[in-house]
Amino acid sequence: MGREYGENSLIDTIVTCMAYVDLNPIRAKMDKTPETSKHTSIKTRIQSLIKGEQPQALMPFVGNHRQDMPKGIAYNLIDYCELVDTTGRCIREDKAGHIDNHQSPILKRLGLDNEQWLTLTTEFEQHFATAVGSEQMMQQFKHHTHHQRIRGMAKARALLKSA
């Protein structure tokens, strides 16, 4: 029990530090939202997610702690995005900026609803094989690789229509 607490405490500390850094451009009034802030890991992660990739230079989010744990941060990316978004909405007298409460929640800003996100994160391999991304990106990939068909085009259309 003590070891698990220590591991969770370390993960919480890492995620807290990451969120602090990812919110610096918001607090400094350099950007209005995490996904548009320049030079932050959250923007890089979101851009890579939309392309169906894992950023090479960043440790991946690998979900909740489990027995067969791959190397990475034991946290879900969507939970992290929502944590940063919610934290960024807190108005503090000692900080210059915050995410305006009139902004839509981060999933809406990314063009995803909860059901789409859950499908993407729990059934990813069932729907996509060769490529993943918005329908437009998959069409470009299909053309570039001279494929006749790309598995997952209908799901891309349904799940990533705004990406």
Please name which of 13, 115, 134 lies closest in space to residue 74, comparing C-alpha atoms: 13
The structural domains of the chain, with segments of one domain joined by +, span 1-110, 111-163
The two three-digit tokens of residue 14, written as one number: 């890492």
| Residue bearing tokens 């969120």 | 19
| Rounded distance between C-alpha atoms, residue 41 and residue 55, angstroms | 9
Contact 154, 130 (CB under 8 A): no
pLDDT of residue 79: 85
| Rounded distance between C-alpha atoms, residue 30 and residue 52, angstroms | 28
| Rounded distance between C-alpha atoms, residue 42 and residue 23, angstroms | 9
pLDDT of residue 163: 54
pLDDT of residue 31: 92
Q: Is the pTM above the cut of 0.95?
A: no
pLDDT tens sequence for the chain (163 residues)? 333 444 556 777 888 889 999 999 998 999 999 999 988 999 998 888 877 778 888 988 887 666 666 788 888 888 888 889 999 988 777 778 888 888 888 877 877 777 777 777 667 667 766 677 777 777 888 888 888 888 888 877 777 765 5
pLDDT of residue 69: 67
Helix axes 77-88, 114-122, angle to 10 degrees: 150
